[in-house]
Amino acid sequence: MKIAICGAGTVGQGVTQILHDNHALITARTGGTIEVTVVASRSVPTDQVFKGVAYTADIHSVCRRDDVDVVVELIGGTTDAKVLIEAALGAGKSVVTANKALIAEYGDALFALAAKHEVQLRYEAAVAGSIPIIKVIQESLAGNQIGWLAGIINGTANFILTEMAATGPTRTFDEVLQEAQTLGYAEADPTFDVEGIDAAHKLTILSAIAFDQPLRLDRVEIEGISSLDPVDFKFARELGFKIKHLGVARCQAGQLEMSVHPSFVPMTAILAQIDGVQNAVLVCGDAAGEILCAGAGAGAGPTGSAVVSDLIDLVEGAAPGGGLGARAAALKPLPVRPPAEVASSYYLRISVEDQPGVMSAVTSILARRTISLDKILQEDIAPNRSFIVLVTDPIQHGVIAEAINELQEMSSVIAPVQSIRVFR
């Protein structure tokens, strides 16, 4: 099988390195060979691994070559990459991509195009780097009705949250973000990662395959991590939680919920053990129960490994699936539960002036809406000021939002109320 690698950045290097280093191994395992015909990249690749591989600056030319069976799209973005993939599929070439944004936004049309030309569009590397979560849901859990899935699917955000949770001198979001940028874990413009957009792309893909529906990025509720305060990490620890940025999709009573948000996760839960740039996805099937897959979410080797696994499936002649969960014709958009009706427990942090009756006023606002409390604590911030910290029992989002609005209007509440969902 002859391939073109488009994009000579980190992942392109990783893929080329693996195919070079493990060539004999892959041949022994598959009975086929994977040969890199050409590397296509706007600028001449300088990495040693590309030495001896033919190079072209004309990325789109690979689609016209007879000596290219499969196009590996690693240029990123949703403009040139889209044109490239459309041309490749149109020319009867299968495509392997790591491009989560492109799949989440344009996947439905691209899978249809692949089906029309009887080729494959594979994307294991698009979600959670090394973790074979696409294959696990699509193949290993194919006999299961999926009830829910929850994942730590953005390494940058998880690194920042892990650092902010570390004991010792507390650091603000901005300080830790700067560290992440210095270490190369965060981009110069970190918006996609810290505001949850990247995670939403991945959740969109996972939800489509888990629940046999088209890609529905516009129905994902998105909340990032930039509003988290060091003091929330302190209270999380005291209350027995870690704060994680989760993508959660759940189908309950025929209605779907999809959201990306910071979450209090019980310290004893397995997802709370996933720290640093690690990723993990927990999936619950009706037969299998809960399955966790964890590993490196990014990097040349891990993401490269996922790309190579798709190439190996192609060289072994894997049956073309429907692209997403079900065959295309059977994909059905589930009704989405109105966000106000989604229920979960909440952590609330309320900054108050110490006045007689303030605690009673706070608790009565909650009681009036039958919001019951699991935990409550009060802690002084400064003379005459304190935090009231609560963990509620599960309650609909619309109800808690109203309660927060009313709390916010109290004269003794002196700063915005912080609210964070609790996972299970």
DSSP state of 318: P
Nearest residue (CB) to its own copies, 80 versus 108: 108
56 binds its own copies (CB under 8 A): no
Mark the segment that binds its own copies (CB under 8 A) among 106-114, 123-131, 169-177, 415-423.
Answer: 123-131
Least distance from C-beta 374 to its own copies, angstroms? 23
Task: Write the interaction track for its own copies spanning residues 187-216; mark x where CB under 8 A is met and - where it is not.
Answer: -------------------------x----
48 binds its own copies (CB under 8 A): no
20 binds its own copies (CB under 8 A): no
Q: Which of 305, 345, 392, 419 binds its own copies (CB under 8 A)?
A: 305
240 binds its own copies (CB under 8 A): no
322 binds its own copies (CB under 8 A): yes
Whether 103 and 35 have beta carbons less than 8 Å apart is answered as no
Nearest residue (CB) to its own copies, 228 versus 324: 324
Q: Binding residues for its own copies, how many (CB under 8 A)?
A: 62
Rounded (5°) CA angle 75-78-82: 80
Q: For residue 202, indicate whether it is catalytic.
A: yes
Taking the C-alpha atoms of residue 126 and residue 133, their distance in angstroms, rounded to an integer, is 10
Task: Write the interaction track for its own copies spanning residues 247-286; mark x where CB under 8 A is met and - where it is not.
Answer: -----------------------x--x------x----xx
How far, in Å, are 36, 151, 176 from residue 171 at the CA level? 46, 25, 7
Catalytically annotated residue among 93, 135, 202, 244: 202
Helix count (H) and strand count (E) of the chain? 13, 17
Alpha carbon 410 to its chain centroid, in Å, reads: 37
Q: Which of 49, 311, 404, 417 binds its own copies (CB under 8 A)?
A: 311
Give DSSP secondary structure letters for 29-89: HHSS--EEEEEE-SS---SGGGTTS-EES-GGGGGG-TT-SEEEE-S-SSSHHHHHHHHHH
Helix (H) or strand (E) holding 376: strand 373-382
295 binds its own copies (CB under 8 A): yes
DSSP state of 334: P
289 binds its own copies (CB under 8 A): yes
Whether 378 and 389 have beta carbons less than 8 Å apart is answered as yes
- The full length of the chain comes to 424
Whether 299 and 275 have beta carbons less than 8 Å apart is answered as no
Q: Which residues are catalytic?
A: 202
Residues contributing to the site for its own copies (CB under 8 A): 14, 17-19, 21-22, 25-26, 28-31, 124, 130-132, 135-136, 139-145, 212, 270, 273, 280, 285-296, 299, 301-302, 304-306, 308-309, 311-313, 316-319, 321-322, 325-327, 330
